[in-house]
A and B are shown apart, each in its own frame.
Chain A
Amino acid sequence: MKTITFKILVGLIILTFVLSACAAPAAEVTTTAPTEPPVVETAEPVVEPTTAPVEPPTIEPTAAPVEAPKPTGKITLWGWSYDAMQSTSLVDDFQKEYPDVELEFVKYSSSDTYQNLQLAVSAGTGAPDVVQIENSRLAQFVDLDGLLDITEWVQPYVPLMNAYKWVDAVKDGKYYAMPWDSGPVVLYYRRDVFKAAELSDNPDDVSAMVATWDKYLETCTTIKEKTGKNCFAFSRANNDARLYEITLWQQGLGYYDKDGKITVDSPENVATLEKLGKFWDPMVVSEEQPWTDPWYAELNSPDNSVASIVEASWMGIFLKTWIAGGTAGMWGVAEMPAFAEGQVRASNDGGSTLAISSQSQNPEAAWAFIEYMLGRENSQLRMFAYTDFLPSLESTYDDALFYEPDTFFGSENTRQIYLKVAKEIPTAYIYGPNYQLMNGYVATAIQEFATGQSSAADALKAAADRIRAETGMP
């Protein structure tokens, strides 16, 4: 009798231990570093404060038909990129237009933002008014019913933004977020490394050299032979699937198709992975994991760097400031490789939106802020000049800023390349309500393939089966 009571007691203690430990949020997780504010460009780009062609639809549809009073009160904002608004004095200008709106910025890293938002939505209290959400996570939070339906407010902007940015923001014909920036993928390359390998460092020549992934591999091999340097960072055992996703996206492929059918193990996806696998045999890439200190070091190193990185335009501000601030003038920007000759040389990685939480007590003020920052050309262009966050707002694209040279990139006119890419990004089904789950299983599949434990087809088949079982998608 006594031992049974004791056993039950031990069981209860362990169970409480296990469950309470599960509930504890990852308080000490530090992930991607925040955008830090150092001044980037000395030459202030000419930004014409053009009057927005779109009538700012700040008017609340039901309340006042003629002249709505300006919103007042306090709003709380969660996210990690508000520095783009603060360092460009956009926040000050917003306050001049809306003096009665009080802003409280809470700077969380992206993972802390999502963690806290999930808990606040589940708890039914504690969510902020405005929250920054990447497109990769947006559909998940829409699905969680955590965001406010802002269809009536964003409707005028739907034709003005990059079409693919709306895919994750819509559910059942209703809109839940406003696009901020797009993530056009380009090839950032080190001019010094290309020169050391006796290759041209001219952006057009480099673009021709890396016209396809096969040609890129040849270029990488040349660089490795001539200089001993690695071409880019592409981990095997710790692969995070981001480059694979970029390569799928440029072909309009994804983890599922437009009917919601899982395509993780389709022949096209397998062929894509096999093509990327060639960079490991022979090894022409480095194995550093993205967003770790050794990875920053090899981007920033003056004499011991990697040759290139395939990444979205938002990488620009990171390279210029906290990752590789010491390498000004050593970088160039070229077009990314196409999967095969003549195919699309454009893809997307990441990109953010702003959304209003369904718990917001002051959605009018929250929308006034979002509209001011993301819906107006002047605001978007000022942020773009500072950060390389390419506006999703297409009406900015004929501004003079797009013809400004960028000294960090050897006075190259990088923004024209971003723009060219942004216009060609195909629609692909990678992000979505189950992106986290799919990315996890696919990353493991890539690791298994990369370390020789499994063929690409078998690894992706196993991942696809698991994804089907857990999501119930066909």
Chain B
Amino acid sequence: MKKNSLDNREEYYDQRAKKGLGHEIAKARWPYFFISPFYILFLIFGAFPLVFSFILSFTTWKGTGPLIFNNFGNYKLILTDKVFWQSMLNGAILFFMYVPFQTLLASVLAVMLNSKRVKGFRFFRTIIFMPYISNMVAAGFVFQLLFGSRNGLFNSILGIFSISPIPWLDSMWGARVALCALIIWAWLGYNMVIILAGLQTISSELTEAAMIDGANSVQAFFLITIPLLRPVILFCVITSTIGSFNLFGELMSLFHATGGTGPLNAVITPLLAVFGQAFHNFKLGYASSQAYVYFLLIFVVALLQLRFFNKEVD
């Protein structure tokens, strides 16, 4: 009987807790207090910009003065904005140019370095990871020297074989190839380390069992390792997707003379387009509406990717 009443009381508290978030928070006020730095920072740097830029996206605000609303004027302007759509297209093009290749290469390298047969794997792991922590400005200058159209190293090497110089940084596709080379150089190590961490959780017995059953190492890689790595690869692909639309430092260093846009806006990304409208043109209202359209599109892409990768798991 006594036990029963206790149950009732607990139920009563449960129900009371369900009545409102306030009660819930009050109940766990100390834990919430201890993690409050996150909420405070999120409110200032996450939630506030989120809400404020949504409001701004309906205004012509330039950074100071009153908010003057122009209804959906900004969103109408986006429909005919060639630069903005070019930037979305560039994000997609860059994604297809480097993400599959980079992810595959990172996986292969991770598997190789995970095997105990490779001598000095720590050394290679460090070397491959090193570019990720190096300075992007310096890297941009080095890649300018490599891809320079007139005196660049690559064109000089092509010259030895009497191949006419390729206008790397002076043509749309040349610029994109040079950019992808820089991205893969800088980000391969990061992705490899993530996948390597994923590999460590996979028991080697699985591949060994497959080998005993007659699979070769390539089959084991594609049929055992890759499927088991799916969540890790999904993480890499989604962050790389967002990364290719969000490129900024890479562009600013490799194409600094044009403010990061590259020849004929060949490499301008949505982030750079938004940045330009906000911080060069001082059109903060228009930039906010671009940011929201961009967010909606990339959100849809991320959901599609989740569905695509998870359909078998579901």
Contact = CB atoms under 8 A, between A and B. Distances in A.
Contacts of A144: 62-64, 282
Contacts of A427: none
Contact of B53 (A19, A287, A290, A469): A19
Contacts of B302: 10, 14
B281 interface: yes
A388 B18 CA distance: 75
Contacts of A63: none
A122 B45 CA distance: 16
Interface in A339-353: none
A146 interface: yes
Nearest to B284: A122
A232 to B, nearest CB: 15
Interface stretch (B22-30, B195-203, B221-229, B249-257): B249-257
Interface in A17-76: 17-26, 28-31
A95 B145 CA distance: 45
A434 B281 contact: yes
Interface stretch (B8-16, B31-39, B120-128, B286-294): B286-294
A400 interface: no
Contacts of A25: 279
B152 to A, nearest CB: 9
Given A11-B299, A437-B283, A122 B170 contact: no
Greatest chain B CB density within 10 A among A24, A28, A237 is at A237
Contacts of B151: 294, 297
Contact of B64 (A14, A122, A235): A122
A238 B162 CA distance: 26
Greatest chain A CB density within 10 A among B83, B248, B257, B306 is at B257
Interface in A424-451: 434, 436-437, 440, 443-444, 447-448, 451
A290 B303 CA distance: 43
Contacts of A287: 149-150, 167, 170
Nearest to B248: A21
A10 B274 CA distance: 22
Interface residues of A, number: 58
Given A28-B137, A240-B258, A122 B63 contact: yes
B198 to A, nearest CB: 20
Contacts, number: 146
Contact of B45 (A14, A20, A140): A20
B64 A453 contact: no
A102 interface: no
Interface string B44-57: 01100110010000
B82 interface: yes
A34 to B, nearest CB: 15
Given A22-B274, A30-B137, A237 B171 contact: yes
Nearest to A20: B45
Give the interface size bracket for B toward A: 35 or more
A327 to B, nearest CB: 19
B150 A294 contact: yes
A10 B137 CA distance: 31
A238 B170 contact: yes
A143 interface: yes
Interface string B99-124: 00000000000000000000000000
A447 B53 contact: no
A290 B151 CA distance: 16
A30 B141 CA distance: 11
A444 B53 contact: no
Given A16-B46, A19-B291, A31-B256, A444 B274 contact: no
A286 B150 CA distance: 10
B246 interface: yes
B7 to A, nearest CB: 26
Given A143-B62, A145-B65, A22 B144 contact: no
Closest 5 CB pairs of A and B: A237-B263, A289-B257, A122-B63, A437-B281, A237-B170
Given A238-B169, A286-B150, A443-B258, 18 more contacts: A7-B303, A15-B50, A18-B271, A19-B295, A22-B275, A25-B279, A28-B135, A29-B256, A121-B64, A122-B63, A144-B64, A145-B65, A238-B258, A289-B257, A292-B257, A294-B148, A437-B280, A440-B276
Interface of A: 7, 10-11, 14-26, 28-31, 115, 118, 121-122, 140, 143-146, 235-238, 240, 286-294, 297, 434, 436-437, 440, 443-444, 447-448, 451, 453, 462, 466, 469-470
Interface of B: 42, 45-46, 49-50, 53, 62-65, 77, 80-83, 135-137, 141, 144-145, 148-151, 167, 169-172, 242, 246, 248-249, 252-253, 256-258, 262-265, 271, 274-276, 278-283, 286-287, 291, 294-295, 298-299, 302-303, 306
13 contacts: A10-B302, A15-B295, A16-B42, A17-B242, A26-B275, A118-B279, A143-B62, A237-B171, A238-B170, A294-B150, A444-B83, A447-B264, A470-B281
